[in-house]
Homo-oligomer: A and B are copies of this chain.
Amino acid sequence: MGVVEMPMADSGEEFWASDTAARELGLKLVSVAPGTAHLTMTVTDLMINSHGICHGGMIFMLADSAFAIACNTQSNRFVGQQCTIVYLKAAKRGETLIAVAKERSQSGRSGVYDVTVKLEDGTVIAEFMGTSRLIAKKAN
């Protein structure tokens, strides 16, 4: 994919506001700043898998959404290109998960971001690393 110039959201908040999938699943934006985003998600009955715990795909969804916002907080538009998630603890029904995404590196058209997913008591549920790729530059 080449890089095009297009009008786009001016901020992480605007970017978040148009993320239908993340908001539909009940994710909440706590804060956003250049290169970082902080989301939460409470594990509902509908997020449970066959082991009776939160579906790993839902934990990824939370981490990936924080990553997507963090890499679109500044000018230009990025998509996720590759992500790795490590699950450290099961998340249970009713627990609130907190995802904090932070930029780790930027180089050319690529960026690398870390996301940590924790419980409110600090217990780490999952660690995530995502690579973004520039798809559009902001038109003036």
A interface residues with partner B (beta carbon < 8 Å):
1, 9, 15-16, 18-22, 24, 45-51, 54-58, 60-62, 64-65, 68, 72, 77, 79-90, 104-105, 107-108, 110, 112, 114, 116, 123-124, 127, 129, 131, 135
Contact = CB atoms under 8 A, between A and B. Distances in A.
A116 to B, nearest CB: 7
Contact of A87 (B77, B82, B84): B82
A129 B84 contact: yes
Tell me if A's interface is mostly helix, strand, loop or mixed: mixed
A64 B58 CA distance: 10
A104 to B, nearest CB: 6
Contacts of A87: 79-82
